[in-house]
Amino acid sequence: MATALKVNGKTHQVDLPDDVPLLWVLRDEVGLTGTKFGCGVAACGACTVHIDGEAVRSCQVALSDVWGDVTTIEGLGSPDAMATIQKAWVDNQVAQCGYCQSGQIMQAASLLAENPSPTDEDIDDAMQGNLCRCGTYPRIRAAIHDAAAKLKEA
């Protein structure tokens, strides 16, 4: 039996078992591949999405437990119409391999929504669940400060 799921403003009827994690519903059923699989155990943050604005690890949320509207990296902005935070990621040339960056951006977006002026310590606290094997952390930090400044101007 199908489960209704609202992703990036669009409702999908999903015909998968209840216990399939949201990550794999998004990637293999809805066709939104911007959200990445890294570990499956909430240890790397690559699968981070928003549910009703809150950053969650989509590998840990079963389909039947999704409690609100889902926003993925694709819902944040597109290459032709980037969100401020995505633009900051480009301006600061953050990505290397880029695989973890969808999750990093979703986590950072939720930080900025809660805290428009994060300190370095706030960034450490909010971002330490997001792993990057390329070591882009210094530029992630710079991009978050940059996005915070630009969001205040807007």
Partner 1 sequence: MGRIGKIVRRTFLIGSAAIVGGVAFGAYYISRPAANPLKPREGETALSPFVLIDQQGVTLFAPRAEMGQGVMTTWAALIAEELDVELDDIRVLHGPAAAAYYNHALMGESLPNKGYDVSDFQHNLGEALGVLGRTLSLQVTGGSTSMKDGFERMRMAGATARETLKQAAAEQLGLDRDQLKTESGAVVAPDGTRIPYTELAEAAGQIEPPEVTLRDPSEWHLIGKSLPRVDIPGKSTGTAEFGIDVRPEGLKFASVRMNPRLGGQMNGFDASAAETMPGVEKIVDLGTGVAVIANNTWLAIQAVEAIDVDWGEAPYPPETDALFEQIAKAFDDAPNSTMRDDGDVDVMPEGATEITADYTVPYLAHATMEPMNATALYTGDKLDLWCGNQAPTLIQMRVANTADLETEAVEIHTTYLGGGFGRRGELDFGEIATKIAMAMPGTPVQTTWSREEDMRHDFYRPGAMARMRGAVKDGKPVMIDGKVASQSPTHQAVERVTGFAGGGPDKVLVEGFFNQPYAVPNYRMSGHVADLAVPVGFWRSVGNSHNGFFHETFLDEMALAAGRDPLEFRLELATTEHAPTAGCLQAVKEMSGWTGKTPDGVGRGVALAYSFGTPVAQVIEVVDDDGTIRINKAWIACDVGLALDPATVEAQMIGGMIYGLSAAAHGEITFADGEVEQYNFPDYDALRMHNTPVTEVRILETNKHLGGVGEPGTPPSMPALGNALFDLTGERARSLPLNKHFNLQV
110 binds partner 1 (CB under 8 A): no
Residue 98 Cβ, how far from partner 1 at the closest point, in Å? 3
* CB 127, CB 105: distance < 8 Å: no
- Cβ 117 to partner 1 shortest distance, Å: 18
Does residue 130 sit in helix, strand or coil?
coil
Sites for partner 1 among residues 35-94 (CB under 8 A) = 35-41, 43-44, 46, 72-74, 76-79, 82, 86, 89-90, 93-94
Among 50, 84, 141, 146, binds partner 1 (CB under 8 A): 141
Smallest gap from Cβ 33 to partner 1, in A, equals 4
Rounded CA-CA distance 146/39 in Å is 29
- Which of 3, 51, 60, 98 binds partner 1 (CB under 8 A)? It is 98
Are the C-beta atoms of 44 and 38 separated by less than 8 Å?
yes
Nearer to partner 1 among residue 3 and residue 37 (C-beta): 37
CA–chain centroid gap for 38, Å, is 13
Which CB sits closer to partner 1, 113 or 142? 142
d(CA 94, CA 91): 8
Among residues 102, 121, 120, 123, which one has the least CA distance to residue 111? 123
Smaller CB separation from partner 1, 3 or 33: 33
Q: What does the block give as tokens for 79?
A: 């290459």
Q: Are the C-beta atoms of residues 58 and 22 closer than 8 Å to each other?
A: yes
Q: Which residues make up the interface to partner 1 (CB under 8 A)?
A: 16-17, 20-21, 23-24, 27-29, 31-41, 43-44, 46, 72-74, 76-79, 82, 86, 89-90, 93-102, 105, 123-125, 127-141
